[in-house]
Structure 1
Amino acid sequence: MMISDAEGAELVRLARLAVEKYVVESVVVKKPAMELPKSGVFVTINYLTRNGEDLRGCIGFPLPYKELHQSVIEAAIAAAVDDPRFPPVDGKELEHLTFEVSVLTEPEEIPGGPVERKKRIAIGRDGLLLKWKHGSGLLLPQVPVELGWDIDEYLANICYKAGAPPDVWLDPSSKLFTFQAAIFKEERPKGDIVRLGTDDRYYYNNNK
C-alpha cells in the first residue's frame, strides 16, 4: 500500500505514544478514528548512544491481519516489553529511544531455482521471509544496508533468523519470499521523522 510522508510520521508518533503510555501509565492507547487499510508492519526501537544506535526491540506482523493503526500500537508495545532478546523498556530510557515504523507489502514467493532466486533480490529494496520445515524467519529490507551485508551474507542470515543452517534456502522444500517496505524513522528522540530509502544511495546492486 502507498503511505504518504504525513501518514508515516503519524504512525511513528503513534508508536512512541503507545510505548510511553504503556511503560509509564500501564495504559493502552486507543487507535485514531481515521483508519488506514490493513497492512503488515514492524516497529523498531533503537537506543541512542554516543556512537550511534543500538537495537532495543523489534516486533511486528508480516501479514495484514489488522487495521494499520491498531497493528502499530500492538507492535510498538510488544517491541518495548515483549522482545525476548531484551529486558522491558524502562521509563527512564524513553528520552534516549528512537522509533521506526516499517509498513510492508504482502510477501511474494520468489520462483525458480537458487540462481534465479538470488538474482531477483535487491539489497535495500527487498526484505526476506524464509519458511522451512522447522520454522520461519524475517529480515526487514533496511537490515542488510545497515549492517553492510552482501547478498550471500543476507541469505545466510535469513537462514540463521529462521533457526536454520546458512544454506537451507537452497533446499527445494524451503520457500523464500520478498517484500518491500515504506520506512519512517525519528532522526533523534522525539525529533523530525524521515522516510528512509528515498534516494538511490540507499540501494546498491548486489549481483555485480
Structure 2
Amino acid sequence: MASDEAEKKDKNLLSREDGETLVKIARETIGTYLNEKRILEVPGNIDAKLKEFMGVFVTLQRNGDLRGCIGYPEPVMPLIEGLIDAAISAATRDPRFPPVTPREFEDIQVEVSVLTKPEIIMVENPREYIEKVEVGKDGLIVEMGPYRGLLLPQVAVEWCWNVEEFLANTCMKAGLQADCWLAKDVKIYRFHSQIFNE
C-alpha cells in the first residue's frame, strides 16, 4: 500500500520540462502584461498535466532580493490559469513593493513553486510540531480565526531557520504573535512544493 501511495505521488510530480514551460510562460505573461497591458491567453497546446488543479506561487527576485511573491496555496483552479494570474500579481499587486517596470523586468529572475494540497498537522500537544515539521521539505500555513499566513519551504532554508523559527515566522506572516503556534486553537498545515527557476 505504501509503495502504491509513493507511486501515486511520483506520478503527480512535474518533470523538469514541465517546470521549464511554467517558468517560460510566467516570464512571457509578465512581459506581455507590462508591455502590452493584456493578459496572455493559455497556450492551446499545453500539456494536460499543467491543467490539473494545483496550488502555485510565482516569486520574483532582483539581485538576490525578493521583488514580489504571490500565489494560490490551495488547488482552486487549473495550474496554468493560476500561474498566469499569480505571475501578473507578483509583478504588479504585491502590496510590499511598487509595481515592476518593463525596464526593471529585464533584471528580474522568475521562480515558480507548484504546491501539493495543504494537509493539517495533527498534534495532541503543540510542542509536537517541532518533531513533525521538516525544514527544507515542508512549507507551512498558520491559521487562527480570520488570520492566515504562508511561507514556502525554501524560505526557511534561505534564512537558515530551525523548526521553531520557521513556525514563529509563519505566525508573524499571519499577523499574529511569534509564539501563536503554541496556542490550542491554531491550525497548522504543511505542504510540499516543486521549485523551478531560471
TM-score, length-scaled by structure 2: 0.90
Find the counterpart in structure 2 of residue 182 from structure 1.
194
- 2:93 aligned with 1:86: no
Contact 1:32–1:69 (8 Å) recurs in 2: no
The structural deviation recorded for 1:2 is: 1.1
Q: Distance in 2 between matches of 1:182 and 1:94?
A: 24
* Partner of residue 4 from structure 1, selected from 8, 15, 21: 15
Find the counterpart in structure 1 of residue 29 from structure 2.
18
Q: Distance in 1 between matches of 2:111 and 2:180?
A: 30
* Partner of residue 41 from structure 1, selected from 45, 56, 61: 56
The structural deviation recorded for 1:149 is: 1.1
Aligned residues: 182
Q: Distance in 2 between matches of 1:66 and 1:166?
A: 32
Greater helix fraction, Structure 1 or Structure 2 = 2
Q: Distance in 2 between matches of 1:129 and 1:122?
A: 14
**How big is each residue's C-alpha offset from its partner over 1:49-101, in whole Å with a ceiling of 9 and x where there is no partner?**
xxxx1100000001111111111000000000000000000011111000000
Find the counterpart in structure 1 of residue 113 from structure 2.
102
Q: Distance in 1 between matches of 2:75 and 2:43?
A: 18
Find the counterpart in structure 1 of residue 43 from structure 2.
32
Contact 1:43–1:76 (8 Å) recurs in 2: yes
Find the counterpart in structure 2 of residue 126 from structure 1.
138
Q: Distance in 1 between matches of 2:43 and 2:129?
A: 40
Find the counterpart in structure 1 of residue 167 from structure 2.
155
Q: Distance in 1 between matches of 2:196 and 2:152?
A: 13
Moved over 3 A (4+): none
- 2:182 aligned with 1:170: yes
Opposite residue 176 of structure 1, the aligned amino acid is I
Q: Matched residue of 1:152: which SS?
A: helix
**Which residues of structure 1 form unaligned runs of 5+?**
187-208
Contact 2:127–2:182 (8 Å) recurs in 1: no
TM-score, length-scaled by structure 1: 0.85
Find the counterpart in structure 1 of residue 81 from structure 2.
70
Q: Distance in 2 between matches of 1:114 and 1:172?
A: 7
* Partner of residue 152 from structure 2, selected from 140, 150, 165: 140
The structural deviation recorded for 1:114 is: 1.7
Share of identical aligned residues, percent? Answer: 45
